[in-house]
């Protein structure tokens, strides 16, 4: 033991040489640590933070992408639905139109058929009437001649009595039942109605 | 203290270091081991002692460990890297960022170096075969405190301007004029003298007393175990106490390193931010 040193020393009065040695030691330690150790740690911290932030960012971007895709699909689906509804509506409208057209066509056809039938009927009636008129006249004159006992044919032809009479009958029939359905026997001939 | 040491040294010399001549309590001579080498340079005497060598070994060891931890540093840390990172983060986030504030990060390397240097040197007080901390020599805590003192005054002048910094130190804002007679001397003394002095003494005294305590219990145990009668029982108790004190010392080692750096950060905070 260096008793002499202990004796003379005050522990709160350090030797200058020791302070210098200590300062150099600390300076070396600080230099080495600040140059080789702490920057490496800082670098690692930064890398770690970036890795974490990068991961979060990546996940976020992926999520956004998925969301966008979902939105797109939804939009497409909605579009398709609208389109389908449109097509359906159009088809329905078209069907309606076709139906209308067919109906109109059928109506027209039926009207045409009816009109032709009426025409034919009227024509045949006229024919029958004309024929009957002739025959009835001849028959009446013939019968009257037989009843009277002489031939009235020439005279009747001359005076046109029969025709006048028949015309009178026609006039009467028309006056009694204008609709042609009345009980008047003079005109029991079928008269087609316009609404049939 | 010195006189009692003197008296004890006399006794010791008289007894010739013999074991049977009663208990020799440890003296301050503990902290003055013989020089291994001595030289003089530019009028300054340099003395390389056992404690100087312990300081070099401790410093070299902590540097080697940290360089090894940082050399293959990766995003996924190994055990050693994790340990080094934890220590660095403690200082960087807990002190540089949280105590000094937003301008604190540039000080993290200095504070972390200070922390690990003190920690390693403190640890020598319980490290087998070294068992004395270089910080129980006043020179080391003192030089560290002086570096801190220079740094925070420099930073204060740089950040706030010399006029503002010294004015704020002498006349703290918000103090009534009358009180300044009392406050100004106290404040000036505190910032420029007491702070570095307490910083150095706190660390030094803790390591000094810790070492003394351990030596007393250890030597006591050895002496009592060798003594006759019932004494070995007390020797065992003393030995146990030395063990307990070693763990207590471990606490002090970490705590004092932490306190030194936290206080440094607090002083730097005062220098970086103008007084409120």
The residues spanned by each domain of chain B are 33-272
Does residue B71 carry a pLDDT above 90?
no
pLDDT confidence band for A87 (50 / 70 / 90): very high
pLDDT tens-digit series, residues A60-82: 899 999 999 999 999 999 999 99
What ipTM did this prediction achieve?
A: 0.84
pLDDT tens-digit series, residues B195-207: 899 999 999 999 8
Q: Tokens 């103090």: give the residue.
A: B175
CB-CB under 8 Å, A22 with B138 = no
pTM beyond cutoff 0.90: no
Does residue B218 carry a pLDDT above 90?
no
pLDDT score recorded for residue A31: 92
Q: Are B77 and B87 in contact (CB under 8 A)?
A: no
pLDDT tens-digit series, residues B75-113: 777 788 888 888 888 888 888 888 888 888 888 899 999
What's B93's DSSP letter? Answer: I
Cβ atoms within 10 Å, residue A99: 10
Q: Could you give phi then psi for residue B123, rounded to 5 degrees?
A: -60, -25
C-alpha to C-alpha distance for A44 and A65, rounded to whole angstroms:
31
Q: How far is B223 from chain A (nearest CA, A)?
A: 19
Does residue B9 carry a pLDDT above 60?
no
Chain-centre distance of CA B45, in angstroms? 24
Question: CB-based contact (8 Å) between A18 and chain B?
Answer: yes
Q: How far is B6 from chain A (nearest CA, A)?
A: 6
pLDDT score recorded for residue B275: 60
Does residue A116 carry a pLDDT above 80?
yes
Q: Are B84 and B65 in contact (CB under 8 A)?
A: yes
Chain A residues in contact with B204 (beta carbon < 8 A): 11
């Amino acid at each position: 033991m260096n008793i002499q040193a202990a004796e003379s020393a005050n522990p709160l009065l350090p030797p200058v040489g020791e302070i210098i040695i200590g300062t150099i030691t600390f300076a070396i330690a600080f230099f080495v640590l600040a140059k080789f150790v702490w920057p490496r740690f800082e670098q690692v911290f930064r890398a770690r933070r970036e890795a974490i932030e990068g991961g979060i960012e990546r996940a976020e971007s992926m999520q956004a992408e998925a969301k966008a895709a979902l939105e797109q699909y939804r939009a497409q689906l909605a579009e398709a639905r609208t389109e389908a509804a449109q097509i359906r509506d159009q088809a329905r409208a078209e069907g309606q139109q076709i139906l209308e057209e067919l109906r109109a066509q059928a109506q027209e056809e039926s009207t045409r058929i009816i009109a032709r039938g009426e025409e034919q009927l009227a024509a045949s009636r006229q024919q029958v009437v004309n024929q009957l008129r002739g025959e009835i006249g001849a028959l009446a004159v013939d019968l009257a001649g037989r009843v009277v006992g002489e031939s009235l044919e020439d005279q009747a032809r001359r005076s046109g009595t029969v025709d006048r009479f028949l015309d009178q009958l026609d006039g009467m029939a028309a006056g009694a039942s204008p609709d042609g359905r009345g009980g008047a026997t003079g005109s029991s001939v079928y008269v087609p109605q316009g609404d049939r | 203290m010195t006189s009692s040491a003197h008296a004890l040294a006399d006794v010791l010399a008289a007894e010739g270091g013999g074991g049977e001549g009663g208990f020799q309590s440890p003296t301050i001579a503990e902290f003055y081991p013989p020089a291994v080498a001595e030289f003089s340079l530019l009028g300054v005497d340099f003395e390389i002692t056992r404690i100087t060598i312990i300081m070099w070994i401790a410093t070299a060891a902590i540097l080697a460990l940290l360089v090894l931890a940082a050399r293959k540093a990766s995003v996924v840390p190994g055990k050693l890297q994790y340990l080094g990172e934890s220590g660095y983060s403690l200082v960087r986030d807990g002190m540089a960022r949280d105590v000094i504030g937003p301008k604190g990060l540039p000080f993290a390397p200095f504070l972390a170096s200070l922390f690990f240097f003190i920690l390693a040197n403190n640890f020598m007080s319980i490290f087998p075969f070294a068992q004395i901390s270089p910080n129980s020599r006043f020179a080391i805590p003192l030089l560290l405190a002086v570096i801190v003192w220079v740094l925070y005054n420099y930073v204060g002048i740089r950040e706030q301007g010399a006029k503002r910094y010294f004015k704020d130190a002498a006349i703290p804002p918000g103090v009534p004029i009358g009180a300044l007679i009392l406050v100004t001397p106290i404040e000036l003394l505190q910032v420029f003298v007491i702070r570095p002095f307490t910083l150095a003494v706190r660390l030094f005294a803790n390591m000094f007393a810790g070492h003394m305590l351990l030596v007393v219990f250890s030597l006591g145990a050895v002496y009592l175990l060798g003594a006759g009668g019932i004494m070995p029982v007390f020797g065992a108790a003393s030995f146990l106490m030395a063990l307990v004190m070693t763990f207590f010392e471990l606490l002090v080692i970490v705590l004092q390193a932490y306190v030194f750096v936290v206080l440094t950060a607090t002083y730097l905070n005062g220098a970086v931010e103008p007084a409120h």
